[in-house]
Every structure is written in structure tokens, then in C-alpha cells.
Amino acid sequence: MKCILLLLAALGMDMVTSHAQSGKTENLIIIGWDGVRWQEIFTGVDSAIMNDRAYTRRSSAMRAEFWDDDPNIRRKKLLPFFWGTLSQQGQLYGNRTLGNKVDVANRWHVTLPGFTETLIGFADSTVDGNHSVPEKDANVLEFINNQPAYKGKVAIFATSRLYDNILNVKRSGLIINCDSEEVHLPGTAFQMLNEEQRLSPQLFGERLDLVTYFQAKEYLKEYHPRVLYINFSEPDNYGHAGSYDWYISTLHGQERLIADMWNYIQGIPQYAGKTTLLISNDHGRGDKVKSQWTSHGPGIQDSKDIFILAMGPDIPPLGEMNNDQQLYQGQIAATLAKFLGLHYVADHPVMPVITTMFKK
């Protein structure tokens, strides 16, 4: 194994850039969306949860805004960008009602193992639930950042403070701004955002996703990263709080933020027509036992069920994937690298690229 790794290292750049010829993608925007269920993505609001007074206090408002008997209309009411632009130009994986499956490969179904699997590219069995220690395994963002063309051009903005350890900031040297960290860069916008972060109500002990988003957006405007990763946490927090009202309004509101980012970058030459967007979650939430929608974990079997949404200049516009297929969370890492024409190799196993995201 060691010999092979050394050999790969010796082959160096050729190996790493061998797929670069045909790709149009030069930038990546990645959204790590904590605890969003595939059920809402593909079938819209859930009538059973909406009609349960324990979870939904303003069910008539929710019904008026988001309900329709036809799930295809319903999901578009909740997530108009995904079921408009993204379904026309990209791919949506994980609708189990059609037999299209995405699973977490790790056994935990919680945040830290989920985002770790996503970014290192396999299910590291030494990851112990949400017990956070600096991750020993290399991750794909670090791998990209170590390529000369991308050095210092990879930035992570996260509501969760777990990212410093998931991405091992000390080792990887990645630009990571998470939770209560301020952005120490010139400009009145960052100054205001830092202050907003300090003062905003912390309903869940973390900064607001809105602040995370605008730190990321201001950073993109000023510093033009090639790879931008954004993590939102509020859907998971509202899920655990058992508030379907706020969980739903947060999904709807944050989908608008994602659409805003996508639309915004189309006005910038560096990004327009050269950027691939990928959206995924760390874990699902319960559904078969309806009351388990509030939670997830090894004790809730179907919280392993997740989704992946993606669109970009190299992705065949297949829309909602309806073939009988099984993908895993850990495949995202190598796929992200391949969008940039890079072949992700590491000193640990790497799950295979999602081949259907690329033209043959």
C-alpha cells in the first residue's frame, strides 16, 4: 500500500490533473445542509407532521403557503429553485419513492461522522459519534487546496464549530470560519457581520445561518475563492426543537439563499458558466415512525437516508434521478475533485466518483 502511495506521489501532477481536458468547471460551491430530510426535498411538506399540533402551531398558514395534493406541485412550492432551475439544469438524487437511494455509509447518522464522510471520502470507523477531535484523515478540500492552482483559494464558512476538527485546520491550513469566529479582513461589511454575529440571539448556541451566509457571500465578492463550502445548521436545530413550522420556513428561506448565491455568481465572469453547485446533508431524520422526524442517529434506521443535488456545466441535465441506484455520502469527495479535473487520492480508501454526474 505504501509503495503504491509513493508511486502515486511520484507520478504527481499528471495523475492528479489527468481528467482536466474536457471539464468546464473551474469553481465549486458546496452546501452542507444539516439535518434536512430527503422527504421534504422530494415530496414537499408532510401532511401528518403539518396536522400534528405537537409539531405545527400554524398549520393553516403552512397549508396555505406550501400544501398541494400533488407532490410535484407541493415540493415546488416549498423549494422553487430546486424544482425550477436545478431540476432543469442539474440532477437530484435520493427520491426513494422512485427507488433512487443515497445513504450515509457510516453507522452514526449524526453530524460529525456525516460531514466527515462527505469530505474525506469514506466512512472512517474511528470517528466516534459527535465526539470532536482533529480528524486524522486527509479531506478533499485540503487535497484541492494543496494543488498549486487552488492554493489559498478554498474557503469554508460554517455555522457549526465542528469544521475546525473535521477539516483539521491545524494540519490542513484551510481558510475556515465557523461559529463564533470573526472574519479578520478589512472592510466595513465584515466589521458589521462580526458585530451581528456577536450580538445576534443565539437560540441554539451557535451563530445565525444568515450571518454565515453573508460572511461567505462577502468573502466571495472580495476574494473570489475557487471552492466555497457553506454549512447551515438551523434546519437540524429546529428539527430537534420539534418545530415543523420553523423547520419548514427555514428550508424555504435557505433555499432562497442558495438560489441567491447561484444567481449572484452568474453575474461574475470568473464564475458564470464555470461553477458547479452541490448540495447535500450530513444525515436524514426519522420518518417511518412519524414522531422520529425530530431526530436522527444509530437508533433511527431511516435517518441514514439522504440526498444529493447538483448542477454545473459538466453535469448532464437529467433532473430528478428515477433509476434504481444506490449512492453513498462518501462518494461526494472524489466527485468534487473530479469536477475540477482532479483525481482525489489520499492515504486512506476513497469511495468511487458518482459517474452519472459526468458526461460519458
Contact with another protein (CB under 8 A) among 117, 137, 218, 302: 218
Report in angstroms how near the CB of residue 255 gets to another protein at its nearest. 10
Q: Which residues, in sequence order, are CB contacts of 165 under 8 Å at separation 6+?
A: 112, 132, 133, 134, 135
Report in angstroms how near the CB of residue 192 gets to another protein at its nearest. 6
Residues 154-193 that bind another protein (CB under 8 A): 188-189, 192-193
Please say whether the beta carbons of 28 and 276 come within 8 A.
yes
Report in angstroms how near the CB of residue 298 gets to another protein at its nearest. 22
CA distances from 308 to 59, 86, 211, 217, 286 (A): 29, 12, 24, 22, 18
Residues 57-76 that bind another protein (CB under 8 A): 57
* Euclidean distance between CA atoms 270 and 301, whole angstroms: 43
Residues 190-209 that bind another protein (CB under 8 A): 192-193, 195-196, 199-203, 208
Contact with another protein (CB under 8 A) among 98, 185, 210, 318: 210
Residues 257-276 that bind another protein (CB under 8 A): 257, 260
Phi-psi region of 121 (alpha: psi -120 to 50; beta: other; left: phi over 0): left
In the complex with another protein, the residue whose CB is nearer, 169 or 210, is 210
Contact with another protein (CB under 8 A) among 253, 298, 313, 319: 253
Question: Which region, judged by CB under 8 A, interacts with another protein, from 40-48, 75-83, 157-165, 236-244?
Answer: 236-244
Residues 124-153 that bind another protein (CB under 8 A): none
* Euclidean distance between CA atoms 152 and 145, whole angstroms: 6
Number of residues this chain uses to bind another protein (CB under 8 A): 29
Report in angstroms how near the CB of residue 25 gets to another protein at its nearest. 25
Report in angstroms how near the CB of residue 65 gets to another protein at its nearest. 10
Question: Which region, judged by CB under 8 A, interacts with another protein, from 85-93, 242-250, 321-329, 330-338?
Answer: 242-250
In the complex with another protein, the residue whose CB is nearer, 156 or 251, is 251
CB burial readout 158-193, b (16+ within 10 A) else e: bbbbbbbbbbbbeebebbbbbbebebeeeeebbeeb
Report in angstroms how near the CB of residue 252 gets to another protein at its nearest. 7
Please say whether the beta carbons of 160 and 34 come within 8 A.
yes
Packing angle of the helix pair 71-78, 244-265 (nearest 10 deg): 70
Report in angstroms how near the CB of residue 199 gets to another protein at its nearest. 5
Please say whether the beta carbons of 301 and 324 come within 8 A.
no
Q: Is 31 in the site for another protein (CB under 8 A)?
A: no
| Contacting positions for another protein (CB under 8 A) | 57, 188-189, 192-193, 195-196, 199-203, 208, 210, 214, 218, 241-243, 245-246, 249-250, 252-254, 256-257, 260
